Amino acid sequence: MKQYDVVIAGGAMTGASLALALDRLSEGALRIAVVEAVLPEQSGHPGYDARSIALSLGSVQLMTELGLWPALMREATAISRIHVSDRGHAGLARIAADEYGADALGYVIELAQAGAVFHEQLAQSSGIDLLCPVKITSIERETDQVILQLSSGESCRANLLVAADGGLSECCLQLGISQTSLNFEQVAIIANVSTAKPHQGEAFERFTPFGPLALLPMSQGRSSLVWCVPPEQQETVMGWDDEMFLQQLQKAFGWRLGQMVKTGQRYAYPLSLRQAERRVSHRFAVIGNAAQTLHPIAGQGFNLGLRDVMTLAEEVVAGVSRGDEAGSMAVLSRFRQRRESDQAATIAMTSGLVTVFANEYWPLVAGRNAGLMAMNALNVLKAPLVKRAMGQVDR
């Protein structure tokens, strides 16, 4: 039975990032395995599907520290400006990278492209065993180790098991770690669209009576659309032909990018806030979407998860260098304590934005528009929100 320091359940971006961070921070001293159920190139991989993500500037800096950014940068599109508006109202705010002395506020990368990069990096790392396509079928925790049975018929031991297996974590389910859930009563419609005017690196966040609508700049002049609608409208929106979909999107978004001229395949995802009730347990840690699944309103999900990744990797490597085991409660407690403040603040910010901007109660409408105008005029109000959006936060 093979022995590892750390076994990571889930090989999409969060799990792969943790494996690579552990390997590189420890200079290859740790024995690491990544257990992934689906090959990255397989159609419909839940971690590498048609969606795109916005990497904050802070996340790019972390990726650079790990030596991952040069490969990802080839597939990324810079966000030079962000335009925030409230449909039908006067309030708006603009944020530009050059205001903050940065080349970009962040970058957009397609998950499918990221998948190829991470899979290649894992395959090239001699200290990491990538077990794929394999599932963990049972977990047995003992005082000094975790014993894992795998769908391949093999088994292995680990000092630490990390769940990075998505919002509906099978590892958490097997270990009886429950989730709290808040249904946002929204469905995200995802598609790539092309517009008559070039986006020139500008991202848009537009709040409508039904929910937020975001367009993120992509390569080849495309934009990545996230359009949040009530669940009862999902069937209608998904049933429109492309022409009708583009017409309705035009009405909701406006003409800042000219005519909507083309759309790719659409996907629909129900939106909720899910949080694991415990982020650490005996020889077990939960990170990324398995720990918290956020509303996409501010593009913070993976960026928050990456800060989980780096902090856990730092604490594991530091603990092992002191003579602790990777899964010792001393290591896990330090990880939990370091992450609590950032997790709570980011969750509160994203959930608060959903509440404020998806509500048509007129005092809230007036208040949020006044807030947008004030934020646009006064940098002292804008700076804290921009700092968190750019990932410039303490870990």
The mean pLDDT value for 123-151 works out to 95
At 217-272, the pLDDT tens digits run 998 899 999 999 999 999 999 999 999 999 999 999 999 999 999 999 999 999 99
Distance CA 322, CA 5 (A): 15
Distance CA 45, CA 149 (A): 23
At 309-355, the pLDDT tens digits run 999 999 999 999 999 999 999 999 999 999 999 999 888 878 776 66
Q: Of the candidates 184, 273, 269, 194, which has an alpha carbon nearest to the alpha carbon of residue 227?
A: 269
At 155-173, the pLDDT tens digits run 999 999 999 999 999 999 9
Residue 370 CB partners (closer than 8 Å, separation 6+): 91
pLDDT at 199 over 70: yes
pTM to 2 decimal places: 0.88
Q: Of the candidates 332, 282, 329, which has an alpha carbon nearest to the alpha carbon of residue 308?
A: 332
CB 56 within 8 A of CB 390: yes
Q: 391, exposed or middle or buried, with CB in 10 Å at 0-12, 13-18, 19+?
A: buried
User: Comparing 136-140, 184-188, 207-211, 258-262, which segment has the lowest mean pLDDT?
Assistant: 207-211
- Please give the domain boundaries of the chain with CATH numbers for all domains: 2-48+111-181+274-357 (3.50.50.60)
With a pLDDT cut of 70, the percent of the chain lying above it is: 85
